Amino acid sequence: MVRILFAGLFIGLVFSDPSPVQDYCVAVTDSETYIPCKNSSLVTIEDFMFYGLNATAEFNDAGQAIVSVNVNTFPGLRTQGVSLARADYKAGGVAVPHVHPRATEVVWVLEGTFLSGFIDSEDRVFSKVIQKGDVILIPRGLVHFHKNVGDVQGTILGFYNSENAGRSTFRDTIFGCELKEEVSEKDLGLRAEDISKVGGRKLNLCGKG
């Protein structure tokens, strides 16, 4: 019983943002020396404000435009265990299958009609067409996707229980890192030249340059 309780406690500590031990910790982003928190005497209301969710970002090749509000763009979120993102989609635009390794996601449709869903660890697909006002839960760490299946531009908001949920796509993970080609050959059943062709495509699917 003690081992079970210890294991549960360990998992809870490892797989969630730590609880804060102070009211707030505004991240310091302009220091060459790592200082976790801005001096509290210098903190102002502006440290707890973010401006920019009222505008659409630049669309990528998949027809998606993302404004991420995490600790990297909003230092006031440090230690608070939350973040969010606005994603706009052209008609037919998609969020390619991806995972957020550090957070559960709650998706709220602001405008439009989407086919959204996730794939669990038993390869079962859970998907549904959702519309304005609908909310869908994406469990932590599971592959998920969104596609605007309407005729006009759509918008969703994603809320995460982590200050930095992280984001990993299949293409970036397999073809965008230094994974040896012989490993990919065996796993994907592709020839080395095919892998090189896919890996060399300059598609901006993830909001990156």
Which residues participate in the annotated binding site? 98, 100, 105, 144
Binding residues for oxalate: 100, 105
Burial, 127: exposed, middle or buried (Cβ in 10 Å; 0-12, 13-18, 19+)?
Answer: middle
Label residues 42-55 b or e (16+ Cβ within 10 Å = b). Answer: ebeeeeeeeeeeee
Question: What spatial distance separates the first Cα and last Cα of the chain, rounded to whole Å?
Answer: 51
d(CA 51, CA 118): 30
Using alpha carbons, list the distances in angstroms from residue 74 to 49, 83, 84, 134, 197. 8, 9, 10, 27, 37
Whether 156 and 109 have beta carbons less than 8 Å apart is answered as yes
d(CA 2, CA 200): 52
Binding residues for Mn(2+): 98, 100, 105, 144
Edge to edge, the sheet with strand 113-119 lists: 125-131, 113-119, 143-148, 94-99, 168-169
